[in-house]
């Protein structure tokens, strides 16, 4: 679709949405799946579903509030975040940063918001309950979702739109949309 190669359509462009309804997604090579060495079991995903929802929503909000964000920016964001948490799992503290300024802004926003979420969980429960290992698994889940849902176009936002369809952000008054 030419529209996502050369034009910066607004997220709610009716022509873009109509074109996506008739779009065929490119086939993905299973060998290129992110972090094939990490097994995300059904049990893990069931136990971490609330964290996955929070992380997905934080990614979506960061993407929507960072002007110009496209799927490739989220791909870079997720790659740097998973690298950061993989490194932390080995005992080293090293924050991987995307070279792309938009991806870096989305990653910064995500890290800030997930930090606040962790603080709130700790205050409510009296202990720190969001482990880096669990967050890593959830981020790999979202990285794989991006890998499956991105249409591969330079200015594509198919993955962002799929996040929006799964969990639209609250409106300005904090109300969740119905339906």
113 occurs within a structural domain: yes
Distance CA 94, CA 120 (A): 24
128 occurs within a structural domain: yes
Residue 82: predicted pLDDT: 95
Domain of residue 139, residue span = 42-166
Distance CA 2, CA 153 (A): 9
Give the number of domains in the chain.
1
6 occurs within a structural domain: no
144 occurs within a structural domain: yes
95 occurs within a structural domain: yes
Residue 22 makes CB contacts below 8 A (sequence gap 6+) with none
Residue 13: predicted pLDDT: 62
179 occurs within a structural domain: no
Tens-digit pLDDT profile for the chain (179 aa)?
454 555 565 556 666 566 555 566 667 676 778 888 999 999 999 999 999 999 999 999 999 999 999 999 999 999 999 999 998 777 767 778 898 999 999 999 999 999 999 989 888 877 767 889 999 999 999 999 998 888 777 778 888 988 988 887 666 555 554 43
Residue 154: predicted pLDDT: 76
105 occurs within a structural domain: yes
Cα 149 from chain centroid?
11
Residue 55: predicted pLDDT: 96
21 occurs within a structural domain: no
- Nearest in space to 132 (alpha carbons), one of 51, 39, 33, 61: 51
Distance CA 174, CA 88 (A): 34
């Amino acid at each position: 679709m030419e529209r996502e190669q050369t034009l910066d359509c607004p997220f709610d462009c009716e022509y873009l949405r109509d074109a996506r309804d008739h779009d065929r997604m490119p086939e993905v090579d299973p060998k290129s799946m992110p972090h094939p060495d990490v097994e995300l079991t059904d049990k893990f995903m069931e136990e971490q579903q609330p964290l996955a929802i929070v992380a997905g929503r934080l990614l979506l909000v960061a993407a929507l509030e960072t002007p110009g964000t496209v799927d490739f920016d989220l791909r870079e964001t997720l790659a740097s975040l998973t690298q950061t948490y993989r490194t932390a799992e080995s005992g080293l503290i090293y924050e991987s940063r995307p070279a792309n300024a938009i991806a870096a802004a989305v990653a910064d926003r995500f890290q800030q918001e997930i930090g606040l979420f962790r603080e709130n969980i700790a205050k409510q429960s009296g202990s720190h309950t969001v482990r880096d290992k669990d967050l890593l698994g959830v981020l790999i889940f979202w990285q794989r979702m991006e890998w499956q849902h991105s249409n591969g176009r330079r200015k594509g936002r198919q993955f962002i739109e799929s996040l929006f369809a799964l969990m639209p952000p609250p409106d300005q008054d904090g109300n969740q949309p119905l339906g």
